[in-house]
Structure 1
Amino acid sequence: MKAGAEKDEGGKPGTLRHVAGPVLRPLQASLSFRLLVMTVLFVMLAEVMIFVPSIANFRKTWLDQRAAAAQIASLSLEATPDNMVSPELREELLRNAQIFLVVLHRTDTRKLLLSESMPPKVDTYYDLQKATAFSLVVDAFETLLAKDGRTIRVMSKPNHSAGESIEIVLDETPLRSAMLHYGANIFWLSLVISVITAGLVYLALHVLMVRPMRRITHHMVSFRQNPEDARRVILPSGRLDEIGVAERELAAMQSEIRATLNQKARLAALGGAVSKINHDLRNILASVQLISDRLGAVDDPTVQKLAPRLFSSIDRAIQLCTDTLKFGRAKEELPQRRRFRLASFANEIAEASIPEKLGIGWIDHVPDDLEIDADPDQLFRVLLNLVRNATQALGERGRVGGEIRLTAQRCQDHVHIYLSDNGPGLPEKAKAHLFEPFSGSARAGGSGLGLAIADELVRAHGGHIGLLKSDASGTVFRICIPDGGGSDVDCDEAEDICGHTAGGTVHK
């Protein structure tokens, strides 16, 4: 069995992940616990950064003190007439200074002041006068890692300008013991400071950040479970910092979402009721239409005068009910795409939507060999809506010379279809909401559903429908339909590359 592995409940060896999982799970799941651990680690790291130069400075100070003690011990020799002391006094002076020998360096001389009769062999040498901050740190760790009984030679600066330098030889063991004792004290002090600091920082961050974030998270989860419950909208605490901004923005967003959901629910219920009413109303109007057809056969001048208006009103009412029912469906069927020639039903669209009595010209400029990848039925509905709108605009114009032009061209992997007329153009109010249901109609009494349905069908093909222009000279719509495996359509860029052709044959 591998080291660190354990057996799970089934008796199979567990991996390190299974062993560490229960330990790391609180750290992963709790922001507070993670914050506490990270605070302790960061404070400990700061204490380590303080400890390293501190232990190096402690070693230097200790050695400087030994050098100062050795200098004081050497002054007793200068007080004697012949610079000689008894062996007992020399041993006592060296023992009190904790050194083996002292050498004083002056300008050009090197004088041995005190020394044991048989000084030990020196293991290494340190010059405190030339030491840098980095070398002091390295030397300190070298001392900590050394074995007991090592003898070192140290060069230091004497006090009161007694010479250029003072050199001592001493046992490093007392220095290492003092450094270990100092390091232990620093460690425990740092640990206590780290725990206290981490606790205070944790409490402050918990009150200022973690607890408010928990409150925000709780309200988000609670609101998601039941957005319609007004009690689940968070009440801002009034703080002016980022947490307060987050609370106010969350409250505003929850209120807007709740209002939108309530509005959509009411609109859905209203839409269902409207669909039922329109369904029954369409059937009633169909019956009225049959009666009105019979009424039109009555040979009476007044009836003959009012019948066309009646027929027109009934037709508009039936069309409005039909469009509303179509738009009220949950969604349109997905396009059943296939490649076919667009010219095959161009004239069929004109015959289904342009009355002969209006004398409107139909200009068909669709190439016979142009194929398009689309759903024929849905594309027919799109063009039919556009042609009907153009026919109504030209019919309201009230003069001869109205024309509707259909052109198309292939540009790389998609097809551009242009439908234009020379009518009076759309009013500005209609342009602002052109493809919005019940808003984009240019006629009084119009529903505006035709263009909304056309836009939905074109977007289902991955394409785009837009108004190129509409002014006193006429109106031009553009439809871009990409092939089934083609890229996204950028109509303006493609038109710059391929250009826009026009022309055609007029059919009356």
Structure 2
Amino acid sequence: MRRFFSRSLSARLLLLTVGFVLAAETLLFLPSIAFFRQEGLEMRARSASLVAEALMSNQVGGDPSREASAMLARQFMMQTDADFLAAFQDGQTLLILGEPPQANIIAVVDLRNTRRFPDFIATTMDFFANGDGYLRIIAPSPIDGQDRLELLVPCAAIGAELRAYAGRILLLSLLIAIFVGILIYLAMLRLIVRPVRELANDMTAFREAPELRRQLSPVLDRGDEIGQLQREFHEMKQSLRSSFRQRERLASLGLSVTKINHDLRNVLSTALLMADRLSMNADPALSEMGERLARTVERGVGLTEEVLEYSSAREPEPVLETVQLGRIVADVQMDMRTAFPRVWVANQIGHDVRITADPEQLQRILSNLLRNAAQAMDGQDKPKIEVAADIVADTVIVQIGDNGPGLPDYVEDRLFLPFTRGNSDSSTGLGLSISKELAEKMGGSLELLDTGPDGTTFILGLPRAYIQA
């Protein structure tokens, strides 16, 4: 039970509700008991007026207290706890019931004026009164010619009555607090506690086995904060599961590349040997072709190793040096002429633009961007790619723009995530992800500037290199 109240949100909610209701009842207790005392005193005054009128109307002569019936006196005294009742007329005191007591009069209450606000201090004193002493109550007389009526009530009787009333109020407050607490507890259990508990269990199950799909217990159409929390958690699970699937695909890719890496390197080694022989040919055209083929095969070997490192979550560190940007773009431009002869690549970068970068990784970034653009413009009339550069402070901004159909809307938000494909079905979806990571490793950035029916433009930012004078 102690563990239940210390760890259960619903139990704490029940206790808080009961506590708050009792706190509200406590604030209302003193005004309530003060009004009760005021009404009790006024009731005694009304009863005294009725008794005095009845006795005085039956008076034939002599002292009216001797003429009163014993039954009426006992009933009045039992209902009002009064020990003495007298009327005052023309400066004389007419005893109606009882004899003047010898005890002290603790307080005087005059009820002849208009109804006044209850006296909290007097109520507090009467509540704790349990000894000798009387409360003197002055009330207007219903009989013509009489000035007033006075009755004496023991303070102990008033205190006992107030304490009995307080006990009833306390019991009633407890019943109300428990009843209201149970109602609020049931409402909160249905609206908050149970959905939160189900969500917590779902989180625990997802943490223990995130790859397993489970049926969602709560519906996702609630419009309040709980519903928002459920939807956000559902979206988070979908995103994480998608990430897990991508990691599994990357792991499978790494395993596949590892298996074929040895055989592929043997094939590329043979192609590299043939390229070396061509480069030693006496014909300048064949010699240049052999050199380009050798460089292409070497890049192929490097790409294979980098794909293996990427799938193994081990990215190669860049070797930074001062690079002439226009020359790297020209090399990629020559490769594009061979692979995509219909695509016109316009190199608008001057020979004086130099950056700090890894030449191999920079060439890979540019090759990915230009190949993606060429593949997106497959079948289009007059496909064109423009490569330009601007120098802004210490950064060289390279713009790669095409006149293709643009990227689909569903691709823009996850363009640089692995296995995200644009308009081309032949790509693996790794090019932009790898290019962005390589650019950031070199201290640069890669972003999508604009895309639409008129074409797509990417921005590649790289550190500017200064030539020592």
Quote the residue 2:132 is aligned against. 149
Q: Which one-letter code corresponds to 2:153 in the other structure? A: L
Matched, 1:58 2:40: no
The answer to whether the 8 Å contact 1:156/1:165 transfers is yes
Quote the residue 2:341 is aligned against. none
Matched, 1:31 2:9: yes
Quote the residue 2:395 is aligned against. 416
Identify the match of residue 71 of structure 1 among 46, 49, 60. Answer: 49
Query: Using the alignment, how far apart are the partners of 1:476 and 1:326 within structure 2?
Result: 29
The answer to whether the 8 Å contact 1:438/1:447 transfers is yes
Q: Secondary structure at the match of 1:418?
A: strand
Quote the residue 2:164 is aligned against. 181
The answer to whether the 8 Å contact 1:335/1:461 transfers is yes
The answer to whether the 8 Å contact 1:235/1:251 transfers is no
Query: Using the alignment, how far apart are the partners of 2:40 and 2:450 within structure 1?
Result: 92
Q: Deviations over 1:84-127 (max 9, x none)?
A: 4467969996993614454569xxx7774437567765433334
Quote the residue 1:466 is aligned against. 447
Matched, 1:385 2:365: yes
Matched, 1:456 2:445: no
Query: Using the alignment, how far apart are the partners of 1:382 and 1:313 within structure 2?
Result: 15
Identify the match of residue 228 of structure 1 among 208, 211, 228. Answer: 211
Q: Deviations over 1:391-434 (max 9, x none)?
A: 9989x99x9xx985544232xxxx3312247x854552499666
The answer to whether the 8 Å contact 1:70/1:102 transfers is no
Identify the match of residue 406 of structure 2 among 410, 422, 428. Answer: 428
Fraction of identical pairs, as percent = 22
Query: Using the alignment, how far apart are the partners of 2:430 and 2:144 within structure 1?
Result: 104
More displaced 10-residue stretch of structure 1: 220-229 or 207-216:
207-216
**C-alpha deviation, 1:144, in angstroms:** 0.7
**C-alpha deviation, 1:140, in angstroms:** 2.5
Quote the residue 1:504 is aligned against. none
Structure 2 length-normalised TM: 0.65
**Change beyond 3 A, Cα 1:142–1:220:** same
Quote the residue 2:265 is aligned against. 283
Q: Secondary structure at the match of 2:350?
A: strand
**C-alpha deviation, 1:363, in angstroms:** 0.2
Q: Secondary structure at the match of 1:428?
A: coil
Count of residues in Structure 1 that have an aligned counterpart in Structure 2: 429
Q: Deviations over 1:24-44 (max 9, x none)?
A: x65432224323322432343
The answer to whether the 8 Å contact 1:68/1:159 transfers is no
Query: Using the alignment, how far apart are the partners of 2:399 and 2:232 within structure 1?
Result: 48
**C-alpha deviation, 1:297, in angstroms:** 8.6
Identify the match of residue 328 of structure 1 among 289, 307, 311. Answer: 311
**C-alpha deviation, 1:267, in angstroms:** 0.8
Q: Secondary structure at the match of 2:132?
A: coil
The answer to whether the 8 Å contact 2:192/2:226 transfers is no
Q: Secondary structure at the match of 1:123?
A: strand
Q: Which one-letter code corresponds to 2:366 in the other structure? A: L
CA RMSD of aligned residues (A): 5.7
Runs of 5+ unmatched residues, structure 2: 338-345, 465-469
The answer to whether the 8 Å contact 2:246/2:418 transfers is no
Residues 270-309 of structure 1: pairs in structure 2 closer than 5 A: 270-276=252-258, 279-280=261-262, 282-290=264-272, 292-293=274-275
**C-alpha deviation, 1:311, in angstroms:** 5.6
**C-alpha deviation, 1:289, in angstroms:** 1.6
Quote the residue 2:343 is aligned against. none
Matched, 1:363 2:350: yes
Query: Using the alignment, how far apart are the partners of 1:238 and 1:418 within structure 2?
Result: 49
Q: Deviations over 1:146-184 (max 9, x none)?
A: 453233333446669998975544332211112222322
Q: Secondary structure at the match of 2:109?
A: strand
The answer to whether the 8 Å contact 1:285/1:317 transfers is no
Q: Deviations over 1:429-456 (max 9, x none)?
A: 4996664556678999776755433311
Q: Secondary structure at the match of 1:229?
A: coil
Query: Using the alignment, how far apart are the partners of 1:407 and 1:139 within structure 2?
Result: 90
Residues 217-256 of structure 1: pairs in structure 2 closer than 5 A: 217-230=200-213, 233-236=214-217, 249=231, 256=238
Query: Using the alignment, how far apart are the partners of 1:74 and 1:472 within structure 2?
Result: 105
**Change beyond 3 A, Cα 1:269–1:381:** closer
Query: Using the alignment, how far apart are the partners of 2:235 and 2:457 within structure 1?
Result: 40
Matched, 1:263 2:242: no
Query: Using the alignment, how far apart are the partners of 2:319 and 2:151 within structure 1?
Result: 100
Q: Secondary structure at the match of 1:330?
A: coil
**Change beyond 3 A, Cα 1:448–1:278:** farther
Q: Which one-letter code corresponds to 1:363 in the other structure? A: G
Query: Using the alignment, how far apart are the partners of 1:392 and 1:249 within structure 2?
Result: 35
Query: Using the alignment, how far apart are the partners of 2:178 and 2:453 within structure 1?
Result: 81
Q: Deviations over 1:329-374 (max 9, x none)?
A: 404367799xx9x6x65577468656599996750454x9xxx9xx
